Copies of this chain bind each other. A is one copy, B any other.
Amino acid sequence: MIVRTLDEITDTAADIKTENWRSKRIILARDRVGFSLHETTLYAGTESEFCYQNHIEAVWVIEGEGEIEDLGTGEVYELRPGSIYLLNDHDRHRVRPRTDLRVACVFNPPVTGREVHDENGVYPVVTLEEAEAIEAAEAAETSTPAGSSE
């Protein structure tokens, strides 16, 4: 059993901050449970476009209000506490929070925490092995004496 708190995640590498949103990754690929679980806050008045070509995402609104537009169909849906949207078809979509929107997100395959949205709001696939290699490389870099060129 693993027990954590959101407070422990706050301001760590698993707490991703951007201009439009902030996402605390509660459970990641390294936990090896087949999904990742995030608490994400999308900021009031922003507009964000996303399309997860390589992931399925479920989003459950815990707090706040706004709307989501399915960019494939043009349909717009209201979001309020208790709203759920499931991007089961890699749907391109735009989210417009009217207030700060706090949501629970589940990703399959799990996010490693090393993905960065590209210019299309797409997450690339990063395997757990790749993420671990990045982390190992960073750790090696950190432990290299200052001034070393290697």
Residue A131, interface by CB 8 Å: no
In the complex, are the beta carbons of B34 and A86 less than 8 A apart? Answer: no
Complex Cα–Cα for A41 and B57 (A) = 23
Copies in the complex: 2
Q: Which residues of B contact A4 (CB under 8 A)?
A: 83-86
Q: Which of these binds chain B: A24-32, A114-122, A141-149?
A: A24-32
| Contact code string A19-42 (vs B, CB < 8 Å = 1, else 0) | 000000011000111110101000
In the complex, are the beta carbons of A27 and B58 less than 8 A apart? Answer: yes
In the complex, are the beta carbons of A83 and B5 less than 8 A apart? Answer: yes
Within 8 A of B (CB), among A49-86: 56, 58, 60, 62, 68, 70, 72-73, 77, 82-86
